[in-house]
Structure 1
Amino acid sequence: YEIEGCEVIWAIKDKAIGNTFFDAGAAQFLIPKLSAEKPEPPIACKRTKYTMAETEKEAKAEAEPGKTGSALGPDWHEGLHLKGAKELSHKVHIESLCEIKKIYLPEEFQRSRKVSLAFPKAQPDEGNAGPDQELWPVYAELSNGKVYGCDFIVSATGVVPNVQPFLEGNSFALGQDGGLKVDKEMCTSLPDIYAAGDICTTSWEPSPVWQQMRLWTQARQMGWYAAKCMAAGALGEPAEMDFSFELFAHVTKFFNYKVVLLGKYNGQGLGSDHELMLRCTKGQEYVKVVMQNGRMMGAVLIGETDLEETFENLILNQMDLSRYGEDLLDPNIDIEDYFD
């Protein structure tokens, strides 16, 4: 969505985009944004940024155009010029239920005698592209049999804990997902060695509405908490569990929509014993609530809903909401004021 002046082929392994973060309904709500005109970018970023500089001169250089942006969060592209040569805003074609099967350099592709496709002119699933006569720097063959030539390939494969550099000569206990096991004070199995962020796997009994997910927000929260635990340990004092581990919460942007994920927003670990409530206004908002035994367990909020604080409190206090039923999401009822 952020790239302009380019034709983008987006190959996804699932039926719908953003499968890690939301369901197919939310994905369908977002898709029209891919062909809509982009609004003007905000003048200033309100999120905290982190830079490293030894001198005042270097600090000023960090702010100059051409420097890369923050490594944390959705501002990584600040300072990068994400615009191609084509006279178009952004054009995206989605290939679903597929992965990249093989990558060819131009010489390899010509020897393979395969045929690459031009960028589809129709909307997704409305037509096929004809043969492409252009010679490209690289070719991607998808598992659905289609081949596309392109200038470059961006591979987004998820997060794997990079523990290998620390295992040689050390006997760290590892979690099921390969991360360094940490206790409720962020300490590994080796004394006085702490871990935080993507490299670690939490091993304590979590809150019913919190789960570990390797996101920039959690990495930052864990880093802060680990520092508190290290300071407390040095002073011989106990460290109290940080509030950020009571409720899973992640705020970001997708296609210029504000997106808030709370608690068990996709029913993670709840089995089939839960129900979903939905409210959707095309082009404005998408609200999904996960309920179990009359209690709110999670929510997905897309757009300017102003419900995040109310829902955060309802998830945390586990109030029985059975008597409200579907009125809980009635747009004519100001539940924010009601539960204040």
Structure 2
Amino acid sequence: MSCEMSPYVVIGGGIAGVSCAQSLKVISSNKQTKVVLLSSSSVVKSVTNINRITQNIEDFDVTETKITELNDSSLGIEAKCCDVVKINPEKQVVITSTGEEIFYSKLCVCTGAKPSLINNQCPHVIGIRDTQTVNELESLVAKSKKIVVVGNGGIAMELVYSLENIDVVWVIKDTSIGKTFFDGGAAEFLLSSLDQPKDRSDTLVEPDKRRSKYTVFNLSNNSSTSAPVLGGSALGPDWHQQTSLTGSSSKNITFEYGCTVQEILYGGSLVGSDGQFPVEVILSNGKHIECDFVVSATGVSPNIHLFNNMPSCTINLDGGVEVDSNMRVTGVKNIYAAGDVCSCSWQKSPHWLQMRLWTQARQMGIFAAHCMVSHSETGTDPILDFCFEVFTHVTKFFGYKIVLLGKYNCQNLDLDKTQLVVRVTPGLEYIKVVLFEGRMYGAVLVGETDLEETFENLILNGMDLSHYGENLLHPNVDLDDYFD
């Protein structure tokens, strides 16, 4: 057992953890300050090629690298591949599975989230969380004719769009796809691209050369990829770009809306099966679906296992550990958290909401680093970063650029005081604006609209737009004139 003192320790090799560790080295006034990054995976994720689209919207690459490359970088981060089993907040020490003790003055926990599998006992159910499970998915798809995809989030949508030459049954608990990201109108707009040849739909939006490209490494000798390593980093955007998801049949998509999986039968429990497929999925609508395997893309839950021995900290109703406006874990000293593992408990801006997305993981990781350094060097609380003033997210679904701004889905707004204004150009763009008491509170932009900066400014400025009414999105109304 070895003991060493480290001013800053970060747990987690995902975007939040790496962003935090890198920022600690950059902003610390003492360039000799030691920063230790602990990752349960030998592959870590970092952000490169940052492109600022607006004041708050950034696009960037997410690259996968061997953890050893962080040690070789000019930043001088000490990166270790190990499993952390316990944190002792009284002694301010992190204990690894090998018994190593690493002492800290400030600690940031960025352990992310873990998949919520619909049936983690069935060998024919796979959850998509990290590079290992994507590799397994690629292998399974290549020899399959029919699969069931369960879930309605970003991973499920990206997967269904990318699959080729395979029969897909998409089980969705909601009445439309992508309920987390957009309404039924945008869902219908996007679904039209599924009927188009992939090369045609991809040309609707010029391919973004800045998007992520992943290099896959042999992570470990663990042959079980169905159970992701605790603390393993999430995929991030465009995880499917360099993955071959081509089956051995022809592509056909069947939608099962408004239902869930009741039971999964396999092996000796199969009833009435003709033996063509090894799995039978029973849905809440009474249908029985036979398939080769099931993809569980039913969301994630915060990976808070390191806080289990800290009764003084608070676990939010959404499952995350609560942090204050300086990313400090409530109830314990000198421990911070960022990314999917945490829940923001501070008084939030009327235009911001927490979502467990890679964009916010980066923002939280960087801000946590600023807070740790400020508390260490000056003992003062930094002002909440401006990125928490308005929610922004840019991604791509079904070949279209997607920009989400503010309370884009009317989150927590009084619907009696809310008005929606929509403009649709089939095959080109879908624009929805959320007006609350005459002021813009959110927007959904699908396609190359070039409106994100204007709408972001309108949200932040709180300008009264009620006199425009339904003409707000009329092509002859130039909202840019407000900011010339």
TM-score, shorter chain, exceeding 0.5: yes
**Is 2:365 the counterpart of 1:201?**
no
List per-residue Cα deviations over 1:128-171 (Å, max 9, x = no partner): xxxxx561121211111111111211112222112133212553
Please give the alpha-carbon distance, in whole angstroms, between the structure 2 residues aligned to 1:74 and 1:101.
31
**Is 2:331 the counterpart of 1:167?**
no
Please give the alpha-carbon distance, in whole angstroms, between the structure 1 residues aligned to 2:319 and 2:234.
23
Match of 1:255 among 376, 398, 401: 398
The answer on whether the counterparts of 2:322 and 2:329 sit within 8 Å (CA) in structure 1 is yes
List per-residue Cα deviations over 1:318-340 (Å, max 9, x = no partner): 11112222222002333335544
- 1:92-131 mapped onto 2 (5 Å cutoff): 92-109=253-270, 112-113=271-272
* Matched residues, number: 303
Report how far residue 293 of structure 1 moved. 1.6
**Is 2:290 the counterpart of 1:149?**
yes
Classify 1:160/1:259 alpha carbon distance in 2 versus 1 (closer, same or farther; 3 Å).
same
Identity of aligned residues (%): 53
RMSD over aligned CA atoms reads: 2.4
Aligned to 1:3: 163
Aligned to 2:431: 287
Which amino acid is the alignment partner of residue 262 of structure 1? Answer: L
Aligned to 1:62: none
Partner SS for 1:194: strand
The answer on whether the counterparts of 2:406 and 2:441 sit within 8 Å (CA) in structure 1 is yes
- 1:1-340 mapped onto 2 (5 Å cutoff): 1-39=161-199, 45-47=209-211, 71-86=234-249, 88=250, 90-109=251-270, 112-113=271-272, 135-189=276-330, 190-236=332-378, 237-272=380-415, 273-337=417-481, 339-340=483-484
Which amino acid is the alignment partner of residue 350 of structure 2? Answer: P
List per-residue Cα deviations over 1:10-69 (Å, max 9, x = no partner): 01011111111111111111111122111276777404678899xxxx9xxxxxxxxxxx
Partner SS for 2:421: strand
TM-score (norm 2): 0.59
Please give the alpha-carbon distance, in whole angstroms, between the structure 1 residues aligned to 2:216 and 2:327.
25
Please give the alpha-carbon distance, in whole angstroms, between the structure 2 residues aligned to 1:204 and 1:221.
16
Please give the alpha-carbon distance, in whole angstroms, between the structure 2 residues aligned to 1:186 and 1:49.
30
Partner SS for 1:327: helix
The answer on whether the counterparts of 1:290 and 1:298 sit within 8 Å (CA) in structure 2 is yes
The answer on whether the counterparts of 2:212 and 2:238 sit within 8 Å (CA) in structure 1 is no
Report how far residue 224 of structure 1 moved. 1.3
The answer on whether the counterparts of 2:395 and 2:401 sit within 8 Å (CA) in structure 1 is yes
TM-score (norm 1): 0.82
Classify 1:295/1:286 alpha carbon distance in 2 versus 1 (closer, same or farther; 3 Å).
same
Query: Which deviates more, 100-109 or 242-251?
Result: 100-109
Aligned to 2:226: none
Which amino acid is the alignment partner of residue 181 of structure 2? Answer: F
Gaps of 5+ in 2: 1-160, 220-232
Judging by fraction of residues, say which structure has more strand: 2
Please give the alpha-carbon distance, in whole angstroms, between the structure 1 residues aligned to 2:306 and 2:216.
24
The answer on whether the counterparts of 2:213 and 2:242 sit within 8 Å (CA) in structure 1 is no
| Structure number with higher relative contact order (C-alpha < 8 Å, ≥ 6 residues apart) | 2
The answer on whether the counterparts of 1:106 and 1:139 sit within 8 Å (CA) in structure 2 is no
